[in-house]
Amino acid sequence: MAVTRDGIPVRVWCWPGNTGDSTLIRQVKHDMRDWTLSRIVWVADRGFSSTQNRRYLRQGDHHYIIGEKLRSNSPEITAALSRQGRYTTIAANMRVKEVRVSGSERFVICHNPEAADRDAHVRQQLLAQLRELIAGSDGLTPHKRGELAGRISNKPGLHRFLRITPAGKLRIDTAKVKTEANLDGKYMLRASDPTRSPADIAVGYKQLLEVERGWRNMKSILDLRPVYHRLEERIRAHVVLCWLALLLIRVAETTTGQTWPTMRRELHRLHAVTFTGPTGTFRQTTDPTKPQLDLYARLNLPLPKKIIEITTSSP
C-alpha cells in the first residue's frame, strides 16, 4: 500500500502469497514512475533488508528507511549497538540516537521507554517460568535432563535463556539475560537519505504503522477477510473495494480529527423513523445532535432530508 505523509492510502497492490520480495518491489517501483513524484521514500520492515533490495530501492535517486534485526549477526548491526552516544527525546515515548558505522548508510537506534518496561516484564515472567522448570533438575539422570532440555527447546522464548553446562546441568544464561536487557524497547533503522535528521527518519518509519493500521482496519473493521472468492480477478476486486472504503475512512479521519469508530458510533444514532396513521405513512429522520451536525459540517456534507417518504392510504 502506498500512503501519503498523513496516512492517506493512494494505491494498493496484491500478489499471490508465494511472490518474492524482489518481484513485488520492482513492480511497485515501476508503477510509481508514472506518478511523477518529486520525492519517494520507501519504508519497509526487516523482511526487506537485503543488499539486493536496498540497491534496487536506491535507483532513481529514491531513498529508503528500513528496519533492521537487532539479533542478527551482521557486523554493521553489532558495531552500531556497541557505539556509545546520547539519546535525543523526540516524543514522550521515543528517543533516538544516530551511530556512525558506514559512510554510505545511516543507522538510527530508537528507544521506547514504555516498550522497554513491557519487554523487561515479559522477560521476568519467562525467567520465572524457566527457573520453575529446571528447579531440581540437578538430581535427574542425564537422560531425563536431556529430555527436559528437549522440551524447553520447543519453546523459543524460554530456550533463549537456557544454558547447558559442560557437565550437562541446566542453568539460566545470565550473559544472554544481560544482552537481552540491553535491547529492551529498542529497534534499529537503516536509512540512505543524508539530508534527513534522525528524528525525521524515526518519524518516517512510524508511517509504516499507518500502513499496518490500514491493513488491520481492512481485515477487521472492513472485513477484508475471509475472502469468499475463488477467481483471482474477484479476489483483487474485493481488495480494491475494501481499499476504497479505507480511503474514505482516512479522509474522514483526517478532515474531522476523530477516529472512524467514534464517528461511526455517533452517526449510528441518526435513525429513520416510520409513522403510520389512518391517512397513510411517512418516514423522517431523527433530529441530528450537535456532534452529528459538527461531523456533517466538517465533512462538507448535506444533512439527510427531514422527510424521506410520504405514502397516503387508499380511500
pLDDT of residue 213: 66
pLDDT of residue 214: 66
What's the whole-model pTM score? 0.66
Cα dihedral: 287, 267, 300, 11 (round 10):
-160
Cα dihedral: 194, 197, 203, 205 (round 10):
30
* CA 282 – CA 268 distance, rounded (Å): 21
Q: Provide the grid cell at 100.
A: 556512525
Q: Which residues are registered as beta bridge partners of 95?
A: 89, 111
pLDDT of residue 210: 64
pLDDT per residue over 86-134, tens digit each? 898 987 788 999 988 877 888 999 998 998 999 999 999 999 999 999 9
- Tell me, what DSSP letter sits at residue 50? -
pLDDT of residue 6: 73
Contact indicator for 219, 225 with CB cutoff of 8 Å: yes
Contact indicator for 105, 188 with CB cutoff of 8 Å: no
pLDDT of residue 221: 64
User: What percent helix, strand, coil does the chain show, rounded to 5?
Assistant: 45, 20, 35
* CA 246 – CA 296 distance, rounded (Å): 19
pLDDT of residue 71: 81
pLDDT of residue 302: 93
Residues of the chain with pLDDT under 50: none
